[in-house]
A = this chain, B = another copy of it.
Amino acid sequence: MVRDRQLRAARLLKERRLACAVFADPASTVYLTGYVPPVETGPSPFEGGPPLVVLTADGGALLIVSDIEEPAARGRATVDEVIAYRAYSPSENLPREDGYREALMQALDKARFRGGALGIEGAVPHHATAWVAQVFRGAEFTSVSECLNPIRMVKDSDEVAAIRKAADISVAGQRAVRQLVRPGLSEVELFAAVRGQMEQAFGRRLPVLADLVSGPRSAEVGGAPSSRTVGEGEVVLVDLVPCVDGYWGDTCVTVFLGPAPEAELRQAHRVVVEALQKGIEAVKPGMTASELDAIVRGHVRKFGYDYPHHTGHGVGTTWHEGPRIVAGDRTVLRPGMVIALEPGVYVDGRFGVRVEDLLLVTESGAEVLSHHDKSLIVP
């Protein structure tokens, strides 16, 4: 629950002897408050900067937002106080930054910050920190960027519920891929229809990260949908990562358009499906991320293939976080971690194949959160 996450983050501040810290990454805002800042159209020209979370070492949490975001923030955030600044009005030409940093000063005051060490997470705008430095002459900033990463890896039950929903939406997208894909559609046309199905399933717009590449483009591992027309006898690789209420889902399939894929494509697809299955069966609390990478990648290598990317990654308030399922990550898997596994095979100039499931690490193994048809042929 949000309050548990605030307390967990507060303990991190205490360990670093910080009485207070300011977080600016939207992923941290979701994690620490439950409020989901909009991202799809970039920084708002109406606002002084991204929403800020001021957290104290005793677990106090304040959220700074513009008055435009205020209603949504009040509806969603679990914090001691939402502090809103006036961002824009048709009758005044407000210097947006003034309101923003006044709100930050107000929050620091309520957080009883009196100078000294202040944690700062990366994207706090400089005009705001400069103002703090000027008012609190003795303020010393210290980066707490990425400090939440370790605690974010193991999800709370409300986070798992949110990710389940995101996985369901991603799976709805994969269902739409099978229903809609056909030769003659462009990649972007297929993508738009698939995203539309995901948004309809959810009832609102969704940020969506996606690879959608067809034919020889699929050998390039990923890429945004283009105007390329999908042809008969080609593969289409579709990786769908929608953000549902601040948490991301992640699945991938590769489908073939036609009745008779060539033998090597059939084998490559069989190998990656097997590798994924072996990974799912191998997941156990106590094993390391690197051991899991070796099992999945090892199966693909046995057939003379490999993939130039990670075997998988954690998923949460960002679309990619710890643990990284790579050779170099010794993180021990623990119940409550949510990981995506996505082995692939890519044959230059010809085709690429990837399949991906989203898993919850449980006490005894893994629960698959994504149940989508991963077969190669579209009937």
Residues of A within 8 A of B (CB): 25-27, 39-43, 45-46, 48-50, 90-93, 95-97, 120, 122-127, 129-130, 141, 143, 145-146, 186, 188-189, 191-193, 195-196, 199-200, 203-205, 207-209, 224-227, 241, 243, 308-310, 318-321, 324, 326-329
Q: A192-B196, A199-B188, A200-B186 are in contact. Are A40 and B130 (CB under 8 A)?
A: no
How far is B88's CA from A324's CA once the two chains are assembled, in angstroms? 11
- Min Cβ gap A194→B in Å is 10
Q: How many copies does the complex hold?
A: 2
How far is B43's CA from A186's CA once the two chains are assembled, in angstroms? 28
Contact call B207/A186, Cβ cutoff below 8 A = no
Contact call B45/A27, Cβ cutoff below 8 A = yes
**Of B192, B203, B319, which is within 8 A of A227 by CB?**
B203
**Of B25, B92, B224, B227, which is within 8 A of A43 by CB?**
B25
Q: Give the one of A39, A42, A329 with max B CB within 10 A.
A: A42
Contact call B127/A145, Cβ cutoff below 8 A = yes
List B contacts of A243 (CB < 8 A).
41
How far is B40's CA from A191's CA once the two chains are assembled, in angstroms? 15
List B contacts of A90 (CB < 8 A).
308-310, 324, 326-327
- Min Cβ gap A332→B in Å is 15
List B contacts of A92 (CB < 8 A).
328
Contact call A320/B204, Cβ cutoff below 8 A = no
- Min Cβ gap A207→B in Å is 5
